Chain A
Amino acid sequence: MADIIVSILVSGLVLGSLYALMASGLSMVWTTLGIFNFAHGVSMTVGAYVAYEIAQRLGPDLWVGYSILLALIVMVVVGAAFEYLLIRPFYGRDDMVLVTIMTTLAGLTFLENGVLTIWGPRLKQLEPLIPGNISYGLVNISRQELIIVLVAPVILLALFLVLNHTQIGRAIRAVGQNQKSAQLIGIPVTRMFLVSFGLAAALAGLAGMLLAGVRLMTPTMGADPLMKALIVVIFGGLGSVGGSIGAAYVIGFLEAILIFTVGIYWTPSMLFLLMVLVLLFRPQGLFGAKNPSSL
């Protein structure tokens, strides 16, 4: 019994960390731009494949340091280009929310098939950062998963500090709260859009790189994490990055428990049901900031 509880805890922690990395970016783009980015999951795929390509060229030994950094820089550029091409032209339109859903869906299709064209459908895997497993008492975890569990909170804490205590982070939040006023006090609003899209893409890309060391890479690998991130942001309340991070861990643990109790096949349905219940009774999310205007 104790070993089951421990393994549920471990797998919940791993899942929660991944979802937190995904959901934070999704939520950040929503707060600043009021855009739900359906291509967020595919950013994860692109990140993993870019890292794979770089690892192929520079050699797997080098990949730990430079390659991750290089891949993250590529992701920032991809995210910014995405904003520039698919979001900016529609800015200020009445039906912007609807139109950008369609453009990001189109972007998702484009990138997913682009990955398929460039790298092919065959399964790929990144070398784990550190191979092997760790056993400590009842805990049994692969080192790569341990890295995910340890890295995610660090990155998320860094994100929190950036958003709350740096000028650029305050500017991003100001744009999210009131665009016109932000513009009036001299914040370059459009540049903030680029920044938050780039940052979100980098976060998703990082999640992809970490995941690709544990699971196999396919061009559609981003679909399931996007789905989970979607449930997470609803659960946590769309408008709050912090709420999303908290909800990510809740959902991670819940998924781990559900897999053990109802089995892997019924888990998605149960999570969906839960999401529906949250929407019915607490549409602002469990930890959500009350923001009825975004409803």
Chain B
Amino acid sequence: MINRPLAIAAALILLLLLPLVLQGPYIRHLFILAFLFAIVAASWDLTLGLTGLFNFGHIAFFGLGVYTAGILTTQAGVDPWLVIPIAGIVAALAAFVVAAPTLRLRGIYVVLVTFAFSQLCLQVVMSQGDLTGGAGGIVRVPSLRISDYNFARDQRLGYYYVSLVLSLACIAALVAIARSPLGKTARAVRDNPEYAAARGIDQMRIRLTMLVISAIPTGIAGALYCIYFRVAAPEVFSFSTSTLILTMLLVGGAGSIVGPAVAAVGIVMISEYLEQFPDLKATKHMLLAVGIILVLRFFPGGLAQISANLFARSPKTVGVTPERVP
């Protein structure tokens, strides 16, 4: 049995001090990427895992964040710092748009609409070449800086801390939401919609709220992703990005919020390590796919389930398979 607050504090201090040990731009790049994907995975978990909303278009919010940042900074000259919150707002608005047709639907129909929405975003991006650069994307997005200090300097030290702080803030907020009455209500809607309705819970409102909330951090992460890489490319909407994040979510344990964020770090490391070998690009995606199936088959609760047995006070997390009350 490990003391939980102590473990969290230790992890935070470790993450803050890590750049002292990790010298070199590449290893820091890995962590920056991991922090950004941790936000996306954890916020996707809020709808897919916690609320049981079959949202398969989450990647669209990320991509919209990326392109909001890319378009506003290069074409409207908006400051990169300002673009980050704007991207969150744009993603939230997009969530409203997706929510409108999906709220009344259940199950597979939600999957179809959300999935179609993400594909639609890709198609619009590809076709509006004047604005988005089409298949080539947007390049030369300005970097984050304070007066003259470029955040990419000192081996990306600035980006390390910006992404770390944003990631911790977003995940803390998501955890707080998951534990709040709203989060509990969402869980009730997932586990027993009939009973939840009987207790007077407005399911449509819960789903809408959760979808919008989950879109905000995702859009923010997308904007930072774009500013950090200094490009916006249509690949962000692709299946492979979606699969990558889905793997994080499942390995981490759907419904646990923190689990997917932790898994994101490990999976980004593995995935980027394999990225060094260009020949293995396809193999990497095949491995991720096999990983998804194996996790679903043998560890449906993911890492969260395993750590739940480790931490004494950790709340019981439920995997993708909630036990239904008869």
Contact = CB atoms under 8 A, between A and B. Distances in A.
B312 to A, nearest CB: 28
Most buried by A among B107, B108, B113, B242: B108
Contacts of B243: 105-106, 109
A295 interface: yes
Contacts of B127: 264-266, 268
B246 A102 contact: yes
Given A102-B292, A102-B296, A106-B289, A36 B321 contact: no
A163 B307 CA distance: 49
A113 to B, nearest CB: 4
B109 A283 contact: yes
A66 interface: no
Nearest to B126: A265
Interface in B77-135: 100-101, 104-109, 111-113, 115-117, 119-120, 123-124, 127-128
A40 to B, nearest CB: 13
- The B contact surface, by secondary structure, is helix
A185 interface: no
B109 A234 contact: yes
B193 to A, nearest CB: 13
A268 B107 CA distance: 24
Interface in A202-219: none
B108 A36 contact: yes
A116 interface: yes
Contacts of A36: 108, 111-112
A95 interface: yes
B13 interface: no
A108 interface: yes
B280 to A, nearest CB: 9
Contacts of B31: none
Contacts of A260: none
Contact of A234 (B104, B112, B120, B293): B112
A276 B282 CA distance: 34
Given A95-B322, A105-B246, A109-B240, A295 B116 contact: no
Contacts, number: 122
Contacts of A99: 296, 320-321
B296 A294 contact: no
Nearest to B319: A95
B108 A294 contact: yes
A93 interface: yes
Interface string A252-295: 00000000000011101100100110011001000000000011
B108 A97 contact: yes
A238 B112 CA distance: 11
Contacts of A109: 239-240, 243, 285-286, 288-289
Most buried by B among A94, A98, A116, A227: A98
Given A109-B285, A110-B286, A113-B286, A279 B321 contact: no
B283 A117 contact: yes
Nearest to A277: B101
A101 B111 contact: yes
Interface in A78-109: 85-86, 89-90, 93-95, 97-99, 101-103, 105-109
A114 interface: yes
Interface in B252-296: 282-283, 285-286, 288-290, 292-293, 296
B199 interface: no
Contact of A94 (B101, B242, B250, B324): B324
Nearest to B127: A265
A189 interface: no
B251 to A, nearest CB: 12
A108 B286 contact: no
Given A99-B296, A227-B116, A93 B128 contact: no
Interface string B21-50: 000000000000000000000000000000
Contacts of B123: 268-269
B159 interface: no
Given A106-B293, A109-B286, 16 more contacts: A85-B293, A95-B320, A97-B108, A99-B320, A103-B292, A106-B243, A108-B239, A110-B290, A112-B239, A114-B282, A117-B286, A234-B112, A265-B127, A275-B113, A279-B113, A283-B105
18 contacts: A93-B321, A103-B296, A106-B290, A107-B289, A113-B282, A113-B289, A223-B239, A227-B119, A231-B116, A266-B127, A268-B127, A269-B124, A275-B113, A280-B100, A283-B109, A294-B108, A295-B106, A295-B109
